Structure 1
Amino acid sequence: MTPTRFVQLWTHRYHKYTHILKAHGLGYMAWLHFQLVKWRTGGKKKLVAVIRTEHFGDIVTAEPISRYLRTLYPDSYIVWFVKPAFRELVSANPSIDEVFAEFCVTQRQTLLKTGIFDQVHELQFSNNNHCPVCQVFVDNPVAVGRHINIHNYFNYGNLLEVFAQTGDLIPERSTFPADDQPRLYLLDKHRSRVNALGLPERFIVVHCRSNYAPKDWPHERWEQLIDWLLLHYECSVVEVGLSSNLEITAPGYINLCGKLSIPETAEVIRRAELFAGLDSGPSHLANASGVFGIILMGSLNEFPTYNPYCGSYGRQENAVFVRQPGVPCAALPFEFVKEKIAAVLDNRLVNNTSRS
């Protein structure tokens, strides 16, 4: 072993094992915190843990579960586990008593193994229970027992129904028994930030790049579509997301990628005439915002057709799915997508204009 390789190896081990040690320490500190919670409530309230830590579209979709749990545990202290980056999505939810921004999976497992929680509902399976630093995967026994995994989960329903099943809240392959329309809880600071952007009065929001390439539509076709939208409709086009791979210089196109928090993105979407995008996090924000959605979808891995949405998008009451059975999103022809979008826009924009 060369000296350089030796240093690299032990540097890696140092970071890994100090991370694990910190995770265990933080787990026991959290146990003390929840002991104090029990003490403050006189031990009269059950502690209920809800675990849905990522991704932000999944957290938005799972929101109806918070309200359903409050009906099941009206007098309990409900704690939602989430990754720190997504804390704002849950922090203002009135059905949740506390948001626990976890350090990593090891911290969470250390805490749960103390038995401090009276009830645990895990709304995920092993691929969501992974810490790359600790190099561990943790399985959800309920998901394992019901054979729900990353390869077959859409065979069990939409995302809300899958999460409710992995959390042992509903029977296997059953529908969600309560209001399934996701809600957002935005604050004045989010509205003020968007006010400061000075957005045009009328605009369409687009989201053109997901975090999973098989869900994407080629950027050249997005550029072609946006140019066509700007030419044929009296609306600006606002792109949202983490980053953009588009090269558009036409007047009326506004690139907000990477400039907004998730709640601020939701507020921008809420103000739009409509949303056009992929099966991705922002489309779930659009569903929860009540904005009409045009969703480009295709076959995905083992699923030739699938429906991830609950609520009005899931029933296609407030959305149109643009897809061809068995065809991946990347292969959807431009003319096919344009015709589907034109049919929606020609109806909705005329109707919106007549109301204004």
Structure 2
Amino acid sequence: MTIRRFVELWTHRYHKYSHIFKAHALAQRAWLHFYRLKQQLPEGTQLVAVVRTEHFGDIVAAEPLSRHIRQLHPKAHIVWFVRPSFRELVETNPNVDEAFSEFCVTERGVLFEKGIFDKIYPLQFRNNNHCPKCQVFLENPIADAAGITVHTYFNYGNLLEVFAQTGGVSLPADDQPRLYLQDRHRQKVDALNLPGSFIVIHCQSNYAPKDWPAARWEELVHWLLDTYPYQVVEIGLRSNLNVQREGYHNLCGTLTILETAEVIRRARYFIGLDSGPSHLANAAGTFGFILMGALGDFPRYNPYSGRYGSGENCVLIRETGIPCAQLPLEKVQKPIEEVLSRPYQENKQPTNERRK
């Protein structure tokens, strides 16, 4: 073994075992927090855990389960485990008493082994229960027994239906996701001085096979601006477009998740991919055009519940077995043209709530 390889090996081991030690320490601290909390809660109050840590579109899709679980446990203290970057989606939800920012799956696994929670709803399966630093997977026996894996999950329905099954809970009667927007989100978007009538677009997902080429997005933006009386606002983490003209606004990387949701809520239409912002659009009640394609083992699937799932408030633009990247521009333009050529009608329903 060379000196360089020796140093790399022990550097890796140092970071790995330091991470594991921290996870165990944080699990102990979390147990102490919940132990003290239990002593303070009224006698007989259950401590209920809900686990849906990522991604933010999945958390939005799972929101109806928060209301359903609250109905099942009206007097319980409900704790939702979530990654820190997605915490705002959970902490604004009035059906959740506490948003717990998870360090890693090892922390959660150690904490749950201590038996502090009276009931646990694991709304995810094995591939979402992995820590690459610890090199640890947490199993979900409910999902395993049902055969739900990363290779099969869309065979079991939309995301809400899948999460209900992995959590061992019945499907809620109301399957329309909601947002819980606050005044600070409205005030931030007010300050942007957005145009009165605009279309929101989202052009990059967190998974390349779901994307549509940037050159076609640019063609679509120019066509929209040339054809319709709407300006175009792009949202997302970053833009890969090269559009320099009046009527196009790039807000990428400038907004939080719920600030982005408020922008989408104000838009006349949403055009995007099968990704987090499309779930925001569903929950916000904005009519959507979703570019989709075959994904892995799924030649055709529908991740949405509510009015996007039924097709009442969106058009899923796709061809069975064809990846999103291969959708021709004309295939995308046609349904947009069919809807936008009609007189605009208010499509939004009171599916989101604002809290001060």
Q: TM-score of the superposition, structure 2-length normalised?
A: 0.95
Q: Which has the higher contact order (CA 8 A, sep 6+)?
A: 2
Aligned to 2:31: 31
1:220 match: 215
Partner of 1:173: none
Distance 1:341 1:288 in 2: 20
Q: Is the 8 A contact 2:65 2:172 kept in 1?
A: no
Partners of 2:127 and 2:150 within 8 A in 1: yes
Amino acid at match of 2:67: R
Which residue among 204, 214, 233 is the counterpart of 2:199?
204
Residue 332 (structure 1) aligned with residue 327 (structure 2): yes
Q: Structure 1's 348 and 49: CA in aligned 2 closer, same or farther, altered over 3 A?
A: farther
Is the alpha carbon distance of 1:350 and 1:190 closer, same or farther for their aligned partners in structure 2, counting shifts above 3 Å?
closer
Map of 1:169-184 to 2, 5 A cutoff?
169-170=169-170, 176-184=171-179
The CA distance in 2 between the partners of 1:69 and 1:146, in whole Å, is 21
Q: Does 1:315 align with 2:310?
A: yes
Selected match of 1:278 from 256, 267, 273:
273
2:354 corresponds in structure 1 to: none
* Alignment match, 1:90: 90
Q: Distance in 2 between matches of 1:117 and 1:95?
A: 18
Task: Tell me which amino acid in the other structure corresponds to 1:184.
Answer: L
2:118 pairs with 1:123? no
- How far is 1:241 from its partner? 0.8
Q: Which residue of 2 aligns with 1:167?
A: 167
- The answer on 1:304 being equivalent to 2:303 is no
CA offsets 1:11-35 (integer angstroms, 9 cap, x no match)? 2111111110010011011011111
Query: 1:194: how far off?
Result: 1.1
When residues 348 and 43 of structure 1 are mapped into structure 2, their CA distance, relative to the original with a 3 A threshold, is farther
CA displacement at 1:350 relative to structure 2: 7.7
Quote the offset at 1:349 in angstroms: 3.7
- Tell me how far 1:153 sits from its aligned partner: 0.5
Specify the SS of the correspondent of 1:259.
Answer: coil
The answer to whether the Cα contact below 8 Å between 2:282 and 2:288 also exists between their aligned partners in 1 is yes
Alignment match, 1:186: 181
The aligned runs of 1:49-88 (5 Å cut-off) are 49-88=49-88
Determine whether 1:256 maps to 2:256. no
Residues of 1 paired with 2:239 and 2:343: CA distance?
27
User: Which 5+ residue runs of structure 2 have no aligned equivalent?
Assistant: 348-356
Matching residue of 2:231: 236
Match of 1:139 in 2: 139
Q: 1:287 and 2:282 equivalent?
A: yes
1:345 maps to a residue whose letter is L
Identify which range, 8-17 or 122-131, moves more after superposition: 8-17
User: Secondary structure, in 3 states, of the residue corresponding to 2:180?
Assistant: coil
CA displacement at 1:197 relative to structure 2: 1.1
Once the two structures are superposed, residues 313-340 of structure 1 have per-residue CA deviations (whole angstroms, 9 ceiling, x without a partner) of 0001111111122222111111121111
| Runs of at least 4 residues off by over 4 Å | none
User: Are residues 121 and 299 of structure 1, via their aligned partners in 2, closer, same or farther at CA, if it must alter by over 3 Å?
Assistant: same
Q: Say if 2:45 and 2:76, in contact at 8 Å, map to a contact too.
A: yes
SS of equivalent residue, structure 1 residue 87: helix
1:86-106 C-alpha deviation (Å, 9 max, x unpaired): 000010111111111111100
Q: Distance in 1 between matches of 2:29 and 2:172?
A: 37
Give the letter for the 1:129 counterpart. N
Which residue type is aligned with residue 207 of structure 2? Answer: Y
Cα deviation code 1:142-164 (max 9, x no counterpart) = 00010000111111010000000
Which one-letter code corresponds to 2:225 in the other structure? L
Match of 2:351 in 1: none
Measured after TM superposition, the shift of residue 111 of structure 1 is: 0.5
Question: Secondary structure of 2:181's partner?
Answer: coil
1:29-50 Cα distance to aligned partner (Å, 9 max, x none): 1011111111001442011100
Matched residues in 2 for 1:332 and 1:26: separation? 47
1:136 deviates by 1.0
In 2, distance between residues paired with 1:24 and 1:178?
Answer: 39
Identity over the aligned pairs, expressed in percent? 63
User: Relative to structure 1, is the Cα distance of residues 89 and 348 closer, same or farther in structure 2, using a 3 angstrom cutoff?
Assistant: farther
Distance across 1 between alignment mates of 2:106 and 2:70: 27
Q: Kindly provide the CA deviation profile for residues 268-308 of structure 1, in whole angstroms up to 9, marking residues without a partner as x.
A: 10110110111100000000001011111112111111110
